[in-house]
Structure 1
């Protein structure tokens, strides 16, 4: 089994897609006006307007209601990303911090309140774990 994608359901597709295009530097592919994807090398980050959930059944997904998932991106230099994203991000949860497990990390919320983590391995063990 391969992990393929994660999909964010939103009421404001344009805002969330533009936000993640700026965070990742990857342009979105728009299959329909209510669905878009960012095709990253490791997986796809997909976005669906709440209209798309009608196909899954009533109340199958609620936008801006995530309290348990963190969307994580491995980056080359988290401190440089923090500087680049400071004008874009409204809500910082954690400024650059080296975590006990060896990653230097920043945490922020996207426009729908989803928690996003950008991290760079900095210890030998963490670097070996994520070696590309």
Structure 2
């Protein structure tokens, strides 16, 4: 089995795709107006419209209602990335902070309120863990 993607259901696909394209620097691949993907080397962030939910199971997902998941992206330099995000991210949860497990992390919210963590490994163990 391979973990492939995380999908966000939203009421405004274009707005959320624009946000993630700007935040990650990765252009989206659009299937149609209801579905787009931000593809990275290791995983994909899929963004789907509320109109796609009934295709799976009606009422099974609600947009802008996430209170338990953090979407994480490994970045080269979280401090530099933070500076680049200040032009359009309005909801920073914290400034770059070195965590006990060795990552320097920046937590913020996307326009739907989903938590996003951009992080850079900074301790030798964390660097080794994420070495490619």
Q: Which residue of 1 aligns with 2:66?
A: 66
- The 3-state SS of whatever aligns with 1:94 is coil
Structure 1 unaligned runs (5+)?
none
User: Residue 88 of structure 1: CA displacement?
Assistant: 1.3
User: Residue 57 of structure 1: CA displacement?
Assistant: 2.0
After superposition, where does 1:75-114 map in structure 2 within 5 Å? Answer: 75-114=75-114
- The 3-state SS of whatever aligns with 1:91 is coil
User: Residue 56 of structure 1: CA displacement?
Assistant: 1.5
Q: Which residue of 2 aligns with 1:56?
A: 56
Q: Across the two proteins, how many residue pairs are aligned to each other?
A: 132
Q: Which residue of 2 aligns with 1:8?
A: 8
Higher strand share: 1
- The 3-state SS of whatever aligns with 2:17 is helix
User: Residue 109 of structure 1: CA displacement?
Assistant: 0.2
Q: Report the Cα distance in structure 1 between the residues aligned to 2:29 and 2:76, rounded to whole angstroms.
A: 24
Structure 2 unaligned runs (5+)?
none
| TM-score using structure 1 length | 0.98
Q: Tell me which moved more, 76-85 or 56-65.
A: 56-65
Moved over 4 A (4+): none
Q: Which residue of 2 aligns with 1:125?
A: 125
- The 3-state SS of whatever aligns with 1:37 is strand
Question: CA RMSD of the aligned region, Å?
Answer: 0.6
